[in-house]
Amino acid sequence: MFDGLKDKLSGFREDVEENAEVEEPAERDEAAADESAAPEDSGGEQPAASETAPAGSPAEDAAADDEDGDNEPSTFQRAKAFATGRIIIEEEDLEQPLWDLEMALLESDVEMSVAERILDTVREKMLGESRKQVETTGELVESALHDALLDVIAVGQFDFEERIAEADKPVTIVFTGVNGVGKTTSIAKLSEWLADRGYSSVMANGDTYRAGANEQIQEHADRLDRELISHDQGGDPAAVIYDGVEYAEANDIDVVLGDTAGRLHTSDDLMAQLEKIDRVVDPDMTLFVDEAVAGQDAVNRAKEFNDAAEIDGAILTKADADSSGGAAISVAYVTGKPILFLGTGQGYDDLTLFEPEELVESLLGED
């Protein structure tokens, strides 16, 4: 999963290591010794430049620059780092690798603003940073990438199971998105995920206009031995999901899973249906479903749906077939709402709770 993006991140790490190579220890020690040796006629140890330099002198200014904590490493910082066996990452070390990383992220369908945020964070965490000789530049790069990726991936994240556990029952969850992205199958998978954790659920088919929609979700309900609430084709979607809530209340069911018609955010009639469902049912969560493999299209649709109907989170299907990872990286940052689940296969058990930290570790080869 996301193997292409993993390779690109690994390439960035290697590029920075090449651009910020450390001098050979013998050369460094010899140079440091020459720099620190007292002049022949001094007769002894020399005081530090900061102790002897008059006010306003270049030496004092260099030391002051260091104390100011400016991002740009001063001459004094570089000399001190060199003498203590450290290396400072400078702008020139990052310029080309960061450009290559930006291109790699965009090629992986990472949204532009997300790519820029990642680059800014990496630059901020690495520029002027020093490391001991016993550490590796690769570790420094990996730490910066880890923080930068987690910063965008974990936006809005919440504990889904905890929210289900603490909410008044029944919890009503409505699913929305475009046609053909696995919305109905995701409902069935989530029903099984909930059952594995001791929660009962009922399905309600608010996709009332599409031919064969009732039969499709009924097949899932029969396989999983779940109750399905449905009306005749052409019925009111809000009324169907409302009936699902009433059934759950009467039968002590924990969760109502409401399907809706596939739509575009520009479909005025269908968006009006969502607004009516919100008004009549007042769902606890509205989840947007799209395919991870849709990349930038999925990111754009997530933003458009959130703008139009305000989603609470997202499910990305076909994540197991996605090499680029652009949607998984971008959706939360663009919408401000978290990815909650990844669909990772055809079986009902192939629904994985989205864990930002685990994803970042996987992308960086830390697992």
Q: What is the tens place of the pLDDT at every residue in 326-352?
A: 888 999 999 999 999 999 998 999 999
CA dihedral defined by 297, 298, 301, 302, rounded to 10 degrees?
A: -150
Euclidean distance between CA atoms 230 and 94, whole angstroms: 58
Rounded (5°) CA angle 266-272-274: 100
Instruction: Give me the pLDDT at residue 128, please.
Output: 62
Six token digits for residue 172: 């009503």
Strand partners, 290: 316
Q: How far is residue 97's CA from residue 119's CA, in Å, rounded to a whole number?
A: 10
Chain centroid to Cα 311, Å, comes to 17
Three-state SS string over the chain comes to CCHHHHHHHHHHHHHHHHHCCCCCHHHHHHHHHHHHCCCCCCCCCCCCHHHHCCCCCHHHHHHHHHHHCCCCCCHHHHHHHHHCCEEECCHHHHHHHHHHHHHHHHHCCCCHHHHHHHHHHHHHHHCCCEEECCCCHHHHHHHHHHHHHHHHHCCCCCCHHHHHHHCCCCEEEEEECCCCCCHHHHHHHHHHHHHHCCCCEEEEEECCCCCCHHHHHHHHHHHHCCCEECCCCCCCHHHHHHHHHHHHHHCCCCEEEEEECCCCCCCHHHHHHHHHHHHHHCCCEEEEEEEHHHCHHHHHHHHHHHHHHCCCEEEEECHHHCCCCHHHHHHHHHHCCCEEEEECCCCCCCEEECCHHHHHHHHCCCC
CA dist 305 and 267 (Å) reads 11
Spacing of C-alpha 295 from chain mean position: 13
| Cis amide prior to 170 (ω within 30 degrees) | yes
* Cβ partners under 8 Å of residue 271, min gap 6: 263, 265, 308, 309
Q: Tens-digit pLDDT profile for the chain (367 aa)?
A: 787 777 878 877 677 766 665 443 444 444 444 554 544 444 444 444 444 444 544 444 444 444 454 555 554 444 444 444 455 667 776 778 888 888 989 988 899 999 999 999 988 887 765 555 445 667 778 888 899 999 999 999 999 999 999 999 999 999 998 888 999 999 999 999 999 999 999 999 988 888 788 899 999 999 999 999 998 887 889 999 999 999 999 999 999 999 998 767 667 777 788 888 889 999 999 999 999 998 888 999 999 888 887 899 999 999 988 878 888 899 999 999 999 999 999 899 999 999 999 999 988 875 4
User: Taking Cα atoms as reference points, which of 325, 258, 337 lies closest to residue 2?
Assistant: 325
Q: Which amino acid is at 36?
A: S
CATH 1.20.120.140 fits 3-39+52-153, yes or no: yes
Query: Is the pTM here over 0.85, yes or no?
Result: no
Asked if 316 and 352 count as a contact pair (C-beta separation under 8 A), the reply is no
Looking at the domain that runs over 160-363, which CATH code has it been given? Answer: 3.40.50.300
Alpha-carbon distance 310 to 303, whole Å? 9
Residues 302, 331: contact at Cβ < 8 Å?
yes
Feature table: binding site: 177-184, 259-263, 317-320
pLDDT reported for residue 307: 85
- Interatomic CA distance for residues 303 and 50, integer angstroms: 55
Place of tokens 């005081």: 47
- Binding-site residue positions for GTP: 177-184, 259-263, 317-320
How far apart CA 32 and CA 305 sit, in angstroms, is: 61
Is 288 within 8 Å of 176 (Cβ atoms)? yes
Q: How far apart are CA 343 and CA 345, in angstroms?
A: 6
Per-residue pLDDT at 26: 40
Condensed to tens digits (0 to 9), the pLDDT of residues 78-126 reads: 444 444 445 566 777 677 888 888 898 998 889 999 999 999 998 888 7
CATH 3.40.50.300, the chain: domain bounds: 160-363
What pLDDT does 19 receive?
Answer: 65
Tokens 């260091």 belong to: 66
Where are the CATH 1.20.120.140 domain residues in the chain? 3-39+52-153
Measured in whole angstroms, how far is the alpha carbon of residue 285 from the centre of its chain? 20
Pair 203, 216: CB distance under 8 Å: no
**What is the structure's pLDDT at 133?**
45
Q: What gap in Å lies between CA 295 and CA 281, rounded to an integer? A: 32
